[in-house]
Structure 1
Amino acid sequence: MIEILESLKQHSDALTVIFTAVVTLSTVVYAVLTGILVSETRKMREVQTEPKIHITLESFDFAIHIIRLNIQNIGLGPARNLTFQPSVIDGGESAEKLLTEFTESNFFKTGLRHFGPGQNVYSTYTQTTQDFEGKSASVLSFKIEYESATGKKYSDEIIIDMSEIKGRYQLGKPNLYAIASSLEKLQKDVGHIVSGFKRVKADVYSSDDRKEEKEERERWYEEQRRESENS
């Protein structure tokens, strides 16, 4: 035990240096981890308060060949002063015509002053049954600029490639659309009955009717029996 203590005294300077190095390294690692945590917290807070604009192709449930653009704020914060700069990348005359159809909605020209989180707006629609080959070969660009509630400015370019619509198909009608159609038809039928426009067809069969029918049947049997005896 005494030898160990003597050895520690002899190497005390070296041990002090090693201990100081370990503490310094631990402090540096802690500072780096703290910096990373602060950066991640800042990014998380930004995601929870900043807007994010998406533009996607969307077809109607009841008619897959009718397509429009869905402009949506998928961020958790409002967007302000949203502007659009649409243009054609590829597709020639068909693409120019398609872009004109989509941008007939006035907000493409005036922009949107306030676009809340989760809010979405639609462009005018186009029918792919008309000039399908030309429309499906079109590539459109939408440059957008907007700012957050904190004043941070964003700019982005969203590419709409119409070739994505090739090969789409739909079997039958969507469930919600079919239910809505059935309810609408049922509502019309009930309305006609209540208003008297259409009357309910019902056969009323009372006990007196059954009694009369029984008596007629018995008379018929009696007549048949008499004819049989006379013959």
Structure 2
Amino acid sequence: MVVTAVATIALGFFTWVLARETKRLSRATAQAHVVATLEPNRWSLMHVDLIVTNTGNAAAHDVAVAFSPEFERDGHKDKGRPLRHVSILKPGQSMSSYVGDYKGFHGKTFEVSTSWKHHPREQKRQSLSYELSMGDYNGYGHLGARSPLIQMAEQLKKLREDWQWVARGSHKIKTDTYSSDDREKERKRYEAMRRSETKPPRKPRKPKGDGGVQE
């Protein structure tokens, strides 16, 4: 009886330890990770977007983003910087906003700080600080559209612009028409070919005999 009781207590203790470690491991692996970057706009390299992304595998709540030195959108102080606070970012979710021309950020270096909560009711905040250098984009460029969607959008835009000129009558559409007269001529030509193919071949003409000279 004593051995059974001790074994039961030991089993219960190890079960409790295993459950606690499993919960801690699950919490450690399911973590949010929020980063903020300044990147060239996907449509134009002459403009810059602020992008806030949750690269972790858990939701981030009450997200705060700070830059030092701080900047304003389009360089206007009255507009303020967007995406200072985000209520929630799902795993893999990104939010972006246009912030200005690239010349206003060229060669600058920023200290970026992001913080968030694992649960909205928690008091403890997770944080991340790092240096962001815009010098990374010196000499940066690309050939053609940066994505197939942008390429499709550009082609549709060009097609719409070309069609507007046609709709206004500024451009004329060149077409090759095939009328009923053309079909009738084609039919007669086809019948003539069939008749020539079915007509029996002509018999070869017999050569005329040479007149002999009588002695």
Amino acid at match of 2:110: L
Counterpart position of 1:101: 73
Give the alignment of 1:157-168 within 5 angstroms: 157-168=129-140
Question: 1:51, CA displacement in angstroms?
Answer: 1.3
Distance 1:180 1:42 in 2: 48
Give the alignment of 1:121-160 within 5 angstroms: 121-128=95-102, 130=103, 135-149=105-119, 151=122, 152-160=124-132
Deviates most, 135-144 or 160-169: 135-144
Q: With structure 2 as the length reference, what TM-score do the two structures score?
A: 0.57
Distance 1:126 1:170 in 2: 20
Structure 2 residue runs without a partner (length 5+): 1-13, 186-215
Distance 2:147 2:65 in 1: 35
Amino acid at match of 1:145: S
Amino acid at match of 2:116: Y
Counterpart position of 1:60: 41
Sequence identity percentage: 22
SS at match of 1:114: strand
For this pair of structures, how many residues does the alignment match? 160
Amino acid at match of 1:54: V
Counterpart position of 2:152: 179
- Contact conserved, 1:139 with 1:162, CA < 8 A, in 2? yes
Distance 2:135 2:142 in 1: 17
Q: Which has the higher helix share?
A: 1
Counterpart position of 1:202: 175
- Contact conserved, 1:55 with 1:72, CA < 8 A, in 2? yes
Distance 1:124 1:158 in 2: 22
CA root-mean-square deviation: 3.6
Residues 91-133 of structure 1: per-residue CA shift (max 9 Å, x gap): xxxxx6xx2237834431xx222222222112433322x36xx
Counterpart position of 1:24: none
- Contact conserved, 1:104 with 1:123, CA < 8 A, in 2? no
- Contact conserved, 2:34 with 2:115, CA < 8 A, in 1? no
- Contact conserved, 1:86 with 1:143, CA < 8 A, in 2? yes
Distance 2:26 2:139 in 1: 39
SS at match of 1:124: strand
